């Protein structure tokens, strides 16, 4: 585990209060119907490496979890072993989806105190769990929908993941695809709820607003949405929050809310240093990406100027390009990775740009509309 401490982390978003503070995303936990098969998918298709396991063999009677890692991205895939209970209820209502966005903090007790005194609803009170590798302090609060944040203090722990887990070392090994860290995680919330949840992140977590997009920025002829991006002080945690907006046809956010039965995590953006290699590897292993019409590439360089990469492989893969004052970025979006049209991934490579691809919204949403049309949900 990293021994990095908070004093080394530079503050990049001066308006943010940063009273927690957060060093990064610790893990993302999905509640899924079949964790064993989901773990295989994320290893085989996405190149995540096995790290830790909790289940009957490690003394867990009611649930099983697989912990996978690539770069700094840690996924936990959890399924229930018995009928009833909160995990089954979550899967019944939402399908597979993100339950926990865990945040790596220096002091989980203080993080709980600071956020609950500012109005956060408790998920669980601070608790210490330990084994022969040391101890971890955990606490949790609720956020939008049934999603929660767990604060993880692991400075006194040296095991593979957490007490209760043992090392997971299957014979099956795959090569990673070059994913480095979580760039941002987007939440979809219901009609007129965006501001409420941005205020939650500002007031309860001390985050500041980076940018906002209204329905004029993010609309096509048919559909629209609104979005604001909230960031913590060191910029390591960026949470854009989307809400649906009125259009001629059904917003992709409304489609998500309908199938997820409420607010939840829409996409996880993961960073790479070489998007061409990463996306080529993912595609070869069966990950499906949104299709962008070839015409997008006819004038893209007029819009974004010179870039280091050859245009041809980007076009072949369907990678989108955008530029802001600080540089440019390359990005691509997968189709939903679950049966319900809910969660998907974004692969992003930043070459200076700190924005989110505003210039691509129209091309992207037209691509999503084509998919919605095929599903009969437009
Ligand atoms: Fe994104």
Give yes or no: residues 72 and 135 share one domain.
yes
Give yes or no: residues 208 and 75 share one domain.
no
Range of the domain at 104: 10-167
pLDDT for res 252? 87
In a domain, 186, yes or no: yes
Give yes or no: residues 128 and 203 share one domain.
no
pLDDT for res 368? 80
Give yes or no: residues 23 and 90 share one domain.
yes
Q: How far apart are CA 337 and CA 285, in angstroms?
A: 13
133 known member of a binding site: no
Q: How far is the CA of 137 from the centre of ligand 1 (A)?
A: 31
In a domain, 173, yes or no: no
Q: How far is the CA of 132 from the centre of ligand 1 (A)?
A: 40
Q: How far is the CA of 169 from the centre of ligand 1 (A)?
A: 32
Q: Give the max Cα distance, the chain.
A: 60
Give yes or no: residues 158 and 21 share one domain.
yes
pLDDT for res 31? 98
Q: How far is the CA of 239 from the centre of ligand 1 (A)?
A: 9
Give yes or no: residues 356 and 214 share one domain.
yes
DSSP 49: E
Give yes or no: residues 96 and 229 share one domain.
no
Give yes or no: residues 128 and 208 share one domain.
no
In a domain, 1, yes or no: no
pLDDT for res 14? 82
In a domain, 222, yes or no: yes
Q: How far apart are CA 201 and CA 304, in angstroms?
A: 32
149 known member of a binding site: no
Give yes or no: residues 328 and 239 share one domain.
yes
Q: How far is the CA of 336 from the centre of ligand 1 (A)?
A: 14
Q: Give the domain CATH number at 90.
A: 3.10.180.10
The residue out of 146, 167, 188 marking a domain boundary is 167
pLDDT for res 360? 85
Q: How far is the CA of 157 from the centre of ligand 1 (A)?
A: 32
pLDDT for res 9? 67
135 known member of a binding site: no
Q: How far is the CA of 330 from the centre of ligand 1 (A)?
A: 11
Q: How far is the CA of 60 from the centre of ligand 1 (A)?
A: 35
- Per-block average pLDDT, block size 10, for the chain (378 residues)? 53 82 96 98 98 96 97 98 97 98 97 97 98 98 98 97 95 94 97 96 94 73 84 94 87 93 98 98 97 85 93 95 93 96 97 88 80 88
Strand order, beta sheet including 327-333: 208-213, 224-231, 238-245, 179-188, 264-272, 344-351, 327-333, 320-324
pLDDT for res 7? 45
pLDDT for res 18? 77
| Structural domains counted in the chain | 2
In a domain, 3, yes or no: no
User: Is the pTM above the cut of 0.75?
Assistant: yes
In a domain, 5, yes or no: no
pLDDT for res 199? 96
Give yes or no: residues 232 and 134 share one domain.
no
Give yes or no: residues 158 and 199 share one domain.
no
């Amino acid at each position: 585990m990293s021994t990095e401490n908070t004093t080394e982390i530079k503050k990049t978003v001066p308006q943010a209060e940063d009273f927690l503070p957060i060093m990064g995303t610790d893990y993302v936990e999905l509640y899924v119907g079949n964790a064993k098969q989901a773990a295989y998918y994320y290893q085989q298709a996405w190149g995540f490496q096995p790290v830790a396991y909790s289940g009957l063999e490690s003394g867990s009677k009611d649930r099983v979890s697989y912990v996978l890692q690539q770069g700094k991205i840690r996924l936990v895939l959890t399924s229930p072993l018995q009928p009833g209970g909160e995990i089954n209820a979550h899967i019944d209502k939402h399908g597979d989806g993100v339950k926990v966005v865990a945040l790596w903090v220096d002091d989980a007790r203080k993080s709980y105190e600071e956020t609950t005194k500012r109005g956060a609803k408790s998920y669980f009170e601070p608790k210490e769990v330990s084994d022969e590798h040391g101890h971890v302090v955990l606490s949790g609060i609720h956020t939008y929908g049934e999603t929660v944040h767990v604060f993880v203090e692991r400075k006194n722990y040296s095991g593979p993941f957490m007490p209760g887990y043992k090392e997971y070392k299957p014979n099956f090994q795959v090569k990673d695809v070059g994913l480095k860290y979580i760039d941002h995680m987007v939440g979809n919330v219901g009609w007129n709820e965006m501001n409420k949840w941005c205020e939650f992140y500002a007031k309860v977590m001390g985050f500041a607003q980076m940018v906002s997009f209204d329905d004029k920025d993010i609309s096509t002829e048919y559909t629209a949405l609104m979005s604001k991006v909230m960031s913590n002080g060191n910029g390591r945690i960026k949470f854009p929050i989307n809400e649906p907006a009125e259009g001629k046809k059904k917003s992709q956010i409304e489609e998500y809310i309908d199938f997820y039965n409420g607010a939840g995590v829409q996409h996880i953006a993961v960073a790479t240093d070489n998007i061409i290699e990463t996306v080529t590897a993912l595609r070869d292993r069966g990950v499906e990406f949104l299709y962008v019409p070839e015409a997008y590439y006819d004038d893209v360089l007029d819009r974004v100027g010179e870039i280091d990469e050859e245009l041809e492989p980007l076009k072949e893969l369907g990678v989108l390009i955008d530029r802001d004052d600080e540089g440019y970025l390359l990005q691509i979006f997968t189709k939903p990775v679950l049966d319900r049209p809910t969660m998907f991934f974004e692969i992003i490579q930043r070459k200076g740009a700190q924005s989110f691809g505003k210039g691509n919204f129209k091309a992207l949403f037209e691509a999503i509309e084509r998919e919605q049309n095929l599903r009969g949900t437009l």
